């Protein structure tokens, strides 16, 4: 018999009623001797082509099965948090088969834990060369052989008409101000019809064609003229998860209100919520009364009640997976991307007035100086007495109550302010860092357009709630430490030596100094106080802010430097922060308050940690999972902050686009080799004054002093300086604004009146370095650049 072809072997395997292997195939085709080697080679080729499976008797796989090695694209995570991929070239597509599930493993064959601290998992959109092995008829495991040049570039932009000679469907204008390219759209791979003005996601097509780069539409987001378009841009530009899974929505809708089972009845206590006038979710309520015990004169009893989110969001549930992925809610001027579905965030977990709600509460006793004497956590059933706003409460306290606050003033609001006064003393005694930084608020009208941009007002009512929440957070951290439980701390480290030295260098040019040695928050406060009311006050506040470390989440306590607290954990906003939900679960488990605590595996870790701590008080606590989770939610927090800022920038640019050519007063908020960013005084809108828009001269960037110095005129522009600018451009799509500088800065010309500030070293001289960093002095002249020497000085010409 002649040696069989591939088609004959495949036909034999297909028609066999049972799985067949190499031995059965050789017997059927009478293959003997050296021909067995050729058969083995042929079968390996069929395996690599995806025609047959290796292992299970060499039976024929269904049409469209995958080859042994192929390129895949990472698509995200499954419900168990494992990394999934899809084939870049799916051979079963023409036959109408859905691609099989591909679970990505490490090179060693271990499952990739996406929450691991040093995760090997590639990110969504990334392409990898993998070696595949079949798990069952519909799933593969893939070991990463090599990560390719990265994910296919995604561009978010607005469709515009393409010139006829371009041979493209559309021209794409990116929303990212850093992307200077336009793109030719040559294909629409989405299901919807695209039109000019659509906001779309497009995938850049690899290759280097002549002219503009090419891209294909993958998703149509919406129209740029529709309300909420700017927040849509921010959502997609920063890949914010904004669509809940059907399972999550179903779980939220099926939730039922709690009853008194395993709960303490606190419905008789007149707790109230105090929030902004645009708030929709109310997750914290407060109450205070004078302490009538004779051993605590002037003291107060406080109750802080927080929505019992852990009762509804259980570890590992669809609700939990979606909440963890988001990490926190994201707040835009026109919408909220919530961490939890509306059925919970605005429903059962919102402490709405006159509705019974489950809560996790802490009773606290403080003395007349605001120092905590004792506290106790409880799981309760409460009923809010009123939903009030900061403005309402402040006006009532100042003697202008409205019908809602008048009956609450004496019994509820006045004691709250009494307790706040005591807590303010405690805050002052600790020496909390007190930065004075304006925050802008964008008010959006019903038509989706910006009505106005104002500075967000801050009252004592805001500070009251802030101090109550800080105290409750301290209680949570102390309780978990006392019970040797894992805790998700809010961590704020001390400023680094390098940042402090940079701050001292900048302050030196302003005739300010900062104490040497072990710095505490009150040392910064002394500096801020000395600058208060002066022209450079804003600059000093900005410099101090930039010198501080980034606050993060983690299980290993290092304290909170800014608040001057040794133990601190976020407990008071579990509707909008996953960190708070973890703290709630830890408290429920540690205090044995019922269901909804930590998963059993975490409890076992905690028990082991407690056993070890009895032998060694310095033993490391549990929290292996908490470490990775802390890193994840720290990242989602930063992602949310950047997305919120980007959306505000676009709304501000849209608002300013009707004022092109107008003149404005502002202050320099950032100085760089590229020019200066200017923040306008009246609106807080921020834009760039590039080097080309500065008065004609060569400008040298003095990085340490945050300044630009004119080489010929010796005119200086410094961070915080007041300037006058003309608006040249305001692009709402990118959020980019350009200014022309008209006036401002300081003259250092010879013969001018001496400045009270220490003059910066003029160009050509050596500026003395502060501190003991060992850094060599920097020459401000640009001549060193011409000689090829390394320098941080940047020379720009108009």
The DSSP symbol for 675 reads E
The whole-angstrom separation of Cα 168 and Cα 384 is 60
- Find residue 690's DSSP bridge partners: 675
- For 549, other C-beta atoms within 10 Å of its C-beta total 15
Ordered DSSP codes for 48-113 = HTTSB-SSSTTPBPPTT---SEEEEEEEEE-TTS-EEEEESS-TTTTTTPPPPEEEEE-TTSPBP-
Closest to 573 measured CA to CA, from 349, 322, 378: 349
Closest to 323 measured CA to CA, from 623, 675, 22, 577: 577
Closest to 673 measured CA to CA, from 694, 718, 710, 703: 703
Query: Looking at the predicted structure, is the pLDDT value of residue 37 above 70?
Result: yes
Provide Rg for the chain, Cα atoms: 32
CA atoms within 13 A on the CB side of 17: 0
- For 96, other C-beta atoms within 10 Å of its C-beta total 8
**pLDDT tens digit string along 110-161?**
444 333 333 456 766 677 888 888 776 567 888 888 877 555 578 899 999 9
**pLDDT tens digit string along 633-659?**
999 999 999 999 999 999 999 899 989
- For 261, other C-beta atoms within 10 Å of its C-beta total 7
pLDDT at 684: 83
Residues in the chain: 798
pLDDT at 663: 95
Query: Looking at the predicted structure, is the pLDDT value of residue 682 above 90?
Result: no
**Residue in this structure with the two tokens 């640019």, named with its chain if needed:** 653
Closest to 211 measured CA to CA, from 245, 176, 175, 186: 186
**pLDDT tens digit string along 379-405?**
999 999 999 999 999 999 999 999 999
Q: E strands along 148-192, which residues?
A: 154-160, 170-174, 183-188
Q: Which band of pLDDT confidence, cut at 50, 70 and 90, is reported for residue 328?
A: very high
- Which residues lie closer than 8 Å to 534 by C-beta, 6 or more apart? none
Query: Looking at the predicted structure, is the pLDDT value of residue 752 above 50?
Result: no
Q: What are phi and psi of 601, to 5 degrees?
A: -60, -35
The DSSP symbol for 779 reads E
Query: Angle at Cα 54 formed by Cα 51 and Cα 56, nearest 5°?
Result: 110
- For 609, other C-beta atoms within 10 Å of its C-beta total 17
Q: Can you give the pTM of this predicted structure? A: 0.73
pLDDT at 96: 45
Q: Is the alpha carbon torsion for 188, 190, 195, 196 positive or negative?
A: negative
Using the CB atoms, write b or e for 503-531: b if 16+ within 10 Å.
bbbbbbbbebebeeeebebbebbebbeeb
- Which residues lie closer than 8 Å to 590 by C-beta, 6 or more apart? 479, 480, 483, 485, 606
pLDDT at 117: 33
The whole-angstrom separation of Cα 131 and Cα 151 is 19
Helices (H) and strands (E) in the chain, counts: 18, 35
Token pair in block for residue 55: 């292992």
Q: Residue 395: in which H helix or E strand, if any? A: helix 390-397
- For 551, other C-beta atoms within 10 Å of its C-beta total 16
CB 173 within 8 A of CB 186: no
Which ranges constitute the DSSP H helices of 577-620?
578-590, 600-615
Q: What are phi and psi of 443, to 5 degrees?
A: -100, 120
Query: Looking at the predicted structure, is the pLDDT value of residue 408 above 70?
Result: yes
Query: Looking at the predicted structure, is the pLDDT value of residue 587 above 80?
Result: yes
- Which residues lie closer than 8 Å to 68 by C-beta, 6 or more apart? 47, 48, 50, 54, 131, 132
Percentage with pLDDT > 90 across the chain: 45
Q: What are phi and psi of 263, to 5 degrees?
A: -130, 155
- Which residues lie closer than 8 Å to 613 by C-beta, 6 or more apart? 484, 619, 621
CB 576 within 8 A of CB 281: yes
pLDDT at 375: 98
**pLDDT tens digit string along 269-312?**
999 999 998 887 899 999 999 999 999 999 999 999 999 999 99
pLDDT at 559: 96
CB 703 within 8 A of CB 674: no
- Find residue 185's DSSP bridge partners: 170, 215
> Greater confidence, 598 or 791?
598
Closest to 597 measured CA to CA, from 383, 330, 311, 327: 311
The alpha carbon of residue 475 and the mean position of all alpha carbons in its chain are separated, in whole angstroms, by 26
Using the CB atoms, write b or e for 366-401: b if 16+ within 10 Å.
bbeebebeebebbbbbbbbbbbbbbebbbbbbeeeb
pLDDT at 115: 35
pLDDT at 55: 47
**pLDDT tens digit string along 434-482?**
998 878 888 888 777 888 888 888 999 999 999 999 999 999 999 999 9
**pLDDT tens digit string along 759-793?**
444 433 333 333 333 333 333 333 333 333 333 33
Token pair in block for residue 142: 């893939």
CA distances (Å), origin 587, targets 73, 435, 603, 713: 41, 32, 12, 64
The alpha carbon of residue 191 and the mean position of all alpha carbons in its chain are separated, in whole angstroms, by 31
**Residue in this structure with the two tokens 């608020």, named with its chain if needed:** 441
Closest to 127 measured CA to CA, from 108, 105, 149, 142: 149
Tell me how far apart the 2 most distant CA atoms of the chain are, in Å.
109
The alpha carbon of residue 517 and the mean position of all alpha carbons in its chain are separated, in whole angstroms, by 34
Tell me the pLDDT of the chain averaged across its residues.
Answer: 82
pLDDT at 14: 65
């Amino acid at each position: 018999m002649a040696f069989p072809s591939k088609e004959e072997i495949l036909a034999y395997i297909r028609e066999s009623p049972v799985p067949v292997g190499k031995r059965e195939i050789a017997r059927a085709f009478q293959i003997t001797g050296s021909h067995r080697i050729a058969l083995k080679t042929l079968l390996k080729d069929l395996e690599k082509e995806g025609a047959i499976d290796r292992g299970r008797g060499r039976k024929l796989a269904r049409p469209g099965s995958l080859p042994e090695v192929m390129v895949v694209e990472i698509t995200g995570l499954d419900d168990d948090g494992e990394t999934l991929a899809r084939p870049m070239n799916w051979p079963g597509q023409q036959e109408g088969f859905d691609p099989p599930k591909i679970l990505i493993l490490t090179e060693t064959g271990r499952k990739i834990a996406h929450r691991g601290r040093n995760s090997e998992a590639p990110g969504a959109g990334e392409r990898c060369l993998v070696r595949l092995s079949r798990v069952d008829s519909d799933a593969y495991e893939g070991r990463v052989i090599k990560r390719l040049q990265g994910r296919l570039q995604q561009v978010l932009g607005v469709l515009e008409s393409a010139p006829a000679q371009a041979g493209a469907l559309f021209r794409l204008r990116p929303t990212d101000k850093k992307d200077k390219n336009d793109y030719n759209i040559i294909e629409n791979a989405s299901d919807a019809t695209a039109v000019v003005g659509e906001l779309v996601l497009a995938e850049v097509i690899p290759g280097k064609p002549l002219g503009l780069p090419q891209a294909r539409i993958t998703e149509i987001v919406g129209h740029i003229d529709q309300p909420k378009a700017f927040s849509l841009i921010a959502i997609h530009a920063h890949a914010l998860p904004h669509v809940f899974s059907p399972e999550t929505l179903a779980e939220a809708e099926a939730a039922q209100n709690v009853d008194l089972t395993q709960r303490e009845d606190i419905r008789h206590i007149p707790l109230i919520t105090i929030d902004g006038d645009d708030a929709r979710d109310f997750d914290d309520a407060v109450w205070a009364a004078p302490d009538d015990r004779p051993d605590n004169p002037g003291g107060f009893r406080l109750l802080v009640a927080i929505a019992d989110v852990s009762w509804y969001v259980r570890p590992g549930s669809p609700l939990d997976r979606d909440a963890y992925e988001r990490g926190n809610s994201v707040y835009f001027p026109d919408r909220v991307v919530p961490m939890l579905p509306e059925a919970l965030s605005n429903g059962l977990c919102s402490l709405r007035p006159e509705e019974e709600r489950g809560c996790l509460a802490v009773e606290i006793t403080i003395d007349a100086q605001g120092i905590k004497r004792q506290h106790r956590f409880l799981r309760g059933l409460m009923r809010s007495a009123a939903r009030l706003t900061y403005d309402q409460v402040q006006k009532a306290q100042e003697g202008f109550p409205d019908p809602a606050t008048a009956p609450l003033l004496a019994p509820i609001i006045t004691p709250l302010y009494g307790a706040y006064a005591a807590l303010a003393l405690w805050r002052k005694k600790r020496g909390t860092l007190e930065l004075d930084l304006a925050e802008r608020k964008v008010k959006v009208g019903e038509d989706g357009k910006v009505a106005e941009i104002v500075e967000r007002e801050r009252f004592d009512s805001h500070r009251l709630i802030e101090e109550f929440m800080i105290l409750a957070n301290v209680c949570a951290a102390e309780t978990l430490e006392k019970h040797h439980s894992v805790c998700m701390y809010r961590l704020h480290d001390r400023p680094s030596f390098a940042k402090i030295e940079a701050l001292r260098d900048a302050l030196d040019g302003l005739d300010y100094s900062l104490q040497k040695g072990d710095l505490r928050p009150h040392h910064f406060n002394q500096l801020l106080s000395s600058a208060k009311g002066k022209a450079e006050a804003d600059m000093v506040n900005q410099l101090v802010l930039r010198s501080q470390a980034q606050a993060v989440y983690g299980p290993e306590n290092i304290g909170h430097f800014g608040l001057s607290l040794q133990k601190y954990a976020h407990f008071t906003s579990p509707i909008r922060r996953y960190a708070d939900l973890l703290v709630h679960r830890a408290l429920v488990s540690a205090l044995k308050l019922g269901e909804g605590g930590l998963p059993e595996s975490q409890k076992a870790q905690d028990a082991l940690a407690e056993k070890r701590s009895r032998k060694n008080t310095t033993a490391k606590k549990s929290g292996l999972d908490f470490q990775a989770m802390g890193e994840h939610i720290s990242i989602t927090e930063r992602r949310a902050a950047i997305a919120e800022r980007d959306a505000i920038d676009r709304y501000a640019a849209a608002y300013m686009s009707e004022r092109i050519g107008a003149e404005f007063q502002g202050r320099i908020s950032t100085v760089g080799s590229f020019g200066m960013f200017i923040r306008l005084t009246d609106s807080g809108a921020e834009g760039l004054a590039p080097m080309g828009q500065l008065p004609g001269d060569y400008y040298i960037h003095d990085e340490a002093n945050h300044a630009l110095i004119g080489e010929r005129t010796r005119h200086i522009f410094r961070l915080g300086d007041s300037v006058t600018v003309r608006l040249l451009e305001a692009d709402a799509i990118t959020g980019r604004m350009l200014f022309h500088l008209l006036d401002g800065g300081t003259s250092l010309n010879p013969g001018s009146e001496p400045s009270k500030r220490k003059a910066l070293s003029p160009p050509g001289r050596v500026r003395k370095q502060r501190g003991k960093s060992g850094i060599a002095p920097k020459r401000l002249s640009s001549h060193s650049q011409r000689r090829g020497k390394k320098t941080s000085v940047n020379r720009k010409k108009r």
